[in-house]
Amino acid sequence: GIQVEQSPPDLILQEGANSTLRCNFSDSVNNLQWFHQNPWGQLINLFYIPSGTKQNGRLSATTVATERYSLLYISSSQTTDSGVYFCAVDSGGGADGLTFGKGTHLIIQP
């Protein structure tokens, strides 16, 4: 099946810093989503972005489907940005459902 690799696995930053999270995938995809999982375990959808660029406030994402990677940018980090960021893809072939990467554990220190 499709492989999803996220980097870095862990990231510790000071409040106000900017960061870039990367997601590489091994095959063409019909769907790519970025999620934020908060300390209570809730999975919040950030972007549905199988290709192109989107922005939502301090967050933006870019997916280059032909080169099989996606980037999530967080600007002016706040402590509430802490948590785990997951990239997940759906190749559309074979078994259905999203395949998740192992996530990036982000800690924003005040």
Partner 1 sequence: EADIYQTPRYLVIGTGKKITLECSQTMGHDKMYWYQQDPGMELHLIHYSYGVNSTEKGDLSSESTVSRIRTEHFPLTLESARPSHTSQYLCASSLYGYTFGSGTRLTVV
Chain residues that interact with partner 1, rule: CB under 8 A: 1, 31, 33, 35, 40-43, 45, 48, 84, 86, 88, 90, 95-103, 105
Report in angstroms the alpha-carbon separations of 85 from 67, 92, 95.
21, 22, 24
Q: How far is the CB of 15 from partner 1 (least distance, A)?
A: 23
Taking the least distance from each CB to partner 1, the nearer of 25 and 35 is 35
Parallel, antiparallel, or unpaired: how do β-strands 19-25 and 99-100 relate? unpaired
Q: How far is the CB of 74 from partner 1 (least distance, A)?
A: 20
Report in angstroms the alpha-carbon separations of 64 from 23, 69, 92.
10, 6, 18
Report in angstroms the alpha-carbon separations of 32 from 36, 77, 92, 105.
14, 23, 11, 19
Q: How far is the CB of 16 from partner 1 (least distance, A)?
A: 26
Q: How far is the CB of 52 from partner 1 (least distance, A)?
A: 14
Taking the least distance from each CB to partner 1, the nearer of 24 and 75 is 24
